[in-house]
Every structure is written in structure tokens, then in C-alpha cells.
Structure 1
Amino acid sequence: MTPLLAELSRLHYPGPPATPAQIAAFEARVGWKLDEDLRAFYLHCNGATLFAPLPDVNYHLLPLERIVRTRIAILGRDEDSAGPASQYCVVDMQDGDYVFVDVAQRAGASLPLFDAWHETYPAAKRIASSFEEFLEKALQSGNSSFWLDG
């Protein structure tokens, strides 16, 4: 993660770091612990945008206080009929597309990331096995959604 975070700081738009107290408050609020990659990211910056500052941005890596269940972010409802309770949005692509982690599908020490589009959610496509993999591909994407065809 260290080289990716250095690139993020050098070429993109990171927020200030989250404090350990902010991370602890987040984990208490959501009821799950950040994996090693996400913890490193949030200790480096509590959210960021890639390639451009807000509002003209595709990749908005959300600050801890904006992370909510995917079903709330996409459908505005926190009920089981709206999608799994284990999915939390970590990236808002600003076009009805979101990237989320699913804490029920933790792969070893890492949380996998999925693409969810407003029109088809709760159907989702796995796009990275870890936040480190996601961030590496996002930084190399040239500001496009690297997981989409074409």
C-alpha cells in the first residue's frame, strides 16, 4: 500500500488522515473492523478523489463518516428486501455506480470489492480481491471505471 498511497498524495486529492479515534468510532458504528488495506488508507487520508477535485470527479473514495450500507446509499432503505446488510459503499462513482465491500465475504485478511449500479442492485460484480488491488487499478485507469467493458 505504501507506494500507492504515495502516488495518491502526489498526484490526486487526498483528505486529511483519520485519527485512530475516528477509526474506532467508525468500527463501533458499523460493527466490523477495517481490513489492513483500508486501515492504512484511512490513516493516510480520510477519503480522497482521484484525477480531479470534487465535484468534477469519477472516483470519490468516501470518508469514514460517509460510509453506509450499500442498500441505503443506492436505494435509500435499510431493510433486507433492499440488499444484504453486510455491504458497505466505500467509493461513489458519482453516476449511480458505487463500489462496496462485503464484510460477509472477507477473503482471508482482505475485504473484496464489488461494483453496484443503481439500476441493477443488489446484483453486483466482484472487481477486486482487496482494496490495494482496487486502488492500484483505479490509479492506472486514466479516470475510467476499469471494470467496465470498453
Structure 2
Amino acid sequence: MAMKQLLTEVSANHFPNPPATPAQIAAFEVRVGWKLDENLRTFYLHCNGAALFEAPPDMNYRILPLERIERASVAIRGSEEDVDGSPSHFTLVDMQDTNFVILDVATPVTGCYPLLDAFHETYPDEAPRIAGSFEEFLEKALRSGNRSFWLSSEPPEK
């Protein structure tokens, strides 16, 4: 499904924040030291974060606003030491249970950053890839019935 269709669905059925401005995106990129890929840039120009399925504070999926994205080791371990998580791992989605979906900005594939599961009890030793791009992640999340699609073996709710 195209990113434009996914964003239309986010706006119609979920809880998007107002869009980020180009200046906010530029400031974010300077702060973190890497550039948003095209999927992420499109998303943040549409909405600067969003809650999926449930309104805050009750949501499971909270796509973070730019100002809340940080190095995963800081969010999960409270540390900037490389032993506590790769310097290329950044939070993207707060799963509201001290777990995150993170980006690996060091390993883009066809111009997109892969998304990883960062379970607080096993990160950084384990961070399995759950989507090859934000577009893939968002489509699967929107079809998940508000469950962590990468953990569920049950079919999504209708």
C-alpha cells in the first residue's frame, strides 16, 4: 500500500499530531546527525507523530514526535555507552510497556531504515528486524488490530 493511502488512514481513523515543519525536520536532523528517509520525511510532514487505535494516554502504538526520538540506549538503558546499544539505533515507536520499535540508521536498505523490536529485557543483545521500512511497519501496524504484529501468531482483528 502506498504511503499516501496509509497517511489518509492514519488521519481518518487514528490520532495524528499536527505536521512537522521543514524547519523542525531540519533541526531534528542536525540534532541526531542523520537524515530522515523518504518514508519518514513524508510521515513527519503529514503528522509529527501519532497514536494508533486509542487516544493518548491509552494507546499501545505511539509513533514518537521528532522531539522525542532519541538514541535507543538512552531511552531503554539510560546510557549513551555503546555497550548499552548501538549509536545507530534510535527510538521511533513507544509501545507503552517500556519497549520500543527502533530504527537502525546505519543499515539503510534501498534508501529505507529497517525497524527493529527493542524489548527492554533483552536489548541490546537482541533486536530482531520486524520491517524493512517505515511504510511496511505502518501498514502492518494498521492491520494489527492494536497488537504487536511481530509477536502475535493470531490473525489480526477485523
Structure 1 and Structure 2 fold alike (TM over 0.5): yes
Offset of residue 140 of structure 1: 0.4
* 1:13 equivalent among 15, 26, 36: 15
- The separation in 1 between residues aligned to 2:152 and 2:131, in whole angstroms, is 15
Once the two structures are TM-superposed, the CA of residue 22 in structure 1 deviates from its matched residue by 0.1
User: 1:19-68: CA deviations, max 9, x gaps?
Assistant: 00000000000000000000000000000000011110100000000000
In structure 2, what is the equivalent of residue 137 of structure 1?
140
- For 1:113, give the aligned amino acid: L
CA distance in 1, matches of 2:138, 2:89: 18
Q: How many Å apart are 1:81 and its aligned residue?
A: 1.3
Aligned residues: 150
Deviations 1:4-24 (A, max 9, x none): 000000000000000000000
Normalised by the length of structure 1, the TM-score is 0.98
Paired position in structure 2 for 1:148: 151
C-alpha distance after superposition, 1:73-127 (max 9, x if no partner):
1001111111100000000000122001101111121110000100000010100
Which residue number in structure 1 is paired with residue 73 of structure 2?
71
SS in 2 for 1:105: coil
Structure 1: unaligned runs, 5 residues or longer: none
RMSD between superposed Cα atoms in Å:
0.6
Residues 98-109 of structure 1: matches in 2 within 5 Å? 98-109=100-111
Runs of 5+ in structure 2 lacking a partner? 154-158
Aligned-pair identity in percent equals: 64
Letter in 1 for 2:135: E
Matching residue's letter, 2:25: I
Equivalent of 1:55, from 37, 54, 57?
Answer: 57
* Structure-to-structure mapping, 1:13-52, within 5 angstroms: 13-52=15-54
- Aligned match of 2:156: none
Separation of aligned partners in 1, 2:80 and 2:56: 27
Segments of 4+ in structure 1 off by > 2 A? none
TM-score by length of structure 2 reads: 0.93
Letter matched to residue 135 of structure 1: L
CA distance in 1 between counterparts of 2:102 and 2:46 reads: 20
